[in-house]
Amino acid sequence: MGRWVIISSERAKRPDEFLPLAPADNGPQPDCPFCKGNEGKTPPEILVSRPAGTPANGPDWSVRVVPSISPVLRIEGKLEHRAKGLYDVATGIGAHEIIVETPEHVASMAHLPEGQIGQVLDLTIQRIKDLERDPRFKYVLLFKNCGKAAGEGRFTHSRSQLIALPVTPIRLKDKLHGARQYFEFKERCIFCDILRQEMDQRLRVAEETTHFVALAPFASRFPFELWVLPKEHSADFIRMTPEQKLDLSRILKVILSKLSRALKDPPYNTILHTAPFRRARAGYWRTIDQDFHWHLEIMPRLTRVAGFEWGSGFYINPTPPEEAARFLRETTPNG
């Protein structure tokens, strides 16, 4: 929607030309609060996958969800929104949870077994469904900062984050609005149309499983940026079938392993875009089931965002998405 990306083919870069912005430091960290045995260093677990009968906050777990140690928003309090002179202020209500993806000190989801990724997806969906019941929240943002250049803090332990928000994120609103406009015009989902065209042309498809496609999107902002989309139309990540969930862990394992091998464990962010909570399917949300299509963005952090991008909202990408997709198709995933 009005976003332009400059694919600077004169600067075209193959994966081996990207120097990591900072070398990955994936060694052990004895004081890591997310490792097995250090459960006391985090607040008590909210949700956990552990054998029946083992004590809460003890060491026998495989995936663990805990409140953030340094939350950006707090869950207590009433939602308030008022004017302050020319400006608007709101109380910082929200929830900030950490999904610890493994009891071992592994630095990236790329190195977790497929079954472990499946468990992470399970607990993630359960947490979002639970947060949906709090009427103060409009959206839960699921994301991952892996590696320093992706904004990860001191600890390198593989984890995802959930932030429940009392407002719909502006970036999602833009996406919803664009999808709505397309739907009004064509009476079709724009993401379904993109999927059909891409699966026909096979230029930008990096990976495909029974239920999912990983695409290097046309005019992608960042080198090796990927979108993972369900083939079957659906607005809601949390309404996946059990079979789709298994298949999603499969494609994530393959594509993250390939990125890890091709780009030497690059720093990356993942961001889920799914429909906001809608307690009544009325008003603006009336057609969202039809016009929006959830997807997961995977963004390796290989270039820096600088004045041009900040000032214009446009992006410069030195790797054409067609080359990124072809390269990933030709890469063997790590074992």
Q: What are the residues binding its own copies (CB under 8 A)?
A: 2-4, 6, 8, 10-11, 70, 72-73, 85-87, 90, 92, 141, 143-145, 148-152, 161, 163, 165, 167, 169-174, 190, 193-194, 197, 201, 218-219, 269-273, 297, 299, 304-308, 310-314, 316
Strand partners, 230: 212
Number of residues in the chain = 335
Q: Closest distance between its own copies and the C-beta of residue 154, in Å?
A: 11
Q: Closest distance between its own copies and the C-beta of residue 101, in Å?
A: 14
Separation in Å, CA 332 to CA 24, 45, 256, 327: 21, 37, 11, 10
Which lies closer to its own copies via its Cβ, residue 179 or residue 246? Answer: 179
In 89-189, alpha helices (H) = 114-132, 170-186
Strand partners, 48: 64
Which lies closer to its own copies via its Cβ, residue 62 or residue 217? Answer: 217
Q: Closest distance between its own copies and the C-beta of residue 8, in Å?
A: 6
Q: Where are the extended beta strands (E) located within the chain?
A: 5-7, 47-49, 63-67, 81-84, 87-90, 95-100, 139-146, 159-165, 205-208, 212-215, 226-230, 268-273, 295-300, 315-317
Which lies closer to its own copies via its Cβ, residue 61 or residue 294? Answer: 294
Q: Closest distance between its own copies and the C-beta of residue 204, in Å?
A: 11
At position 104, the amino acid (one-letter code) is: E
Which lies closer to its own copies via its Cβ, residue 173 or residue 239? Answer: 173
Which lies closer to its own copies via its Cβ, residue 156 or residue 270? Answer: 270
Q: Closest distance between its own copies and the C-beta of residue 56, in Å?
A: 27
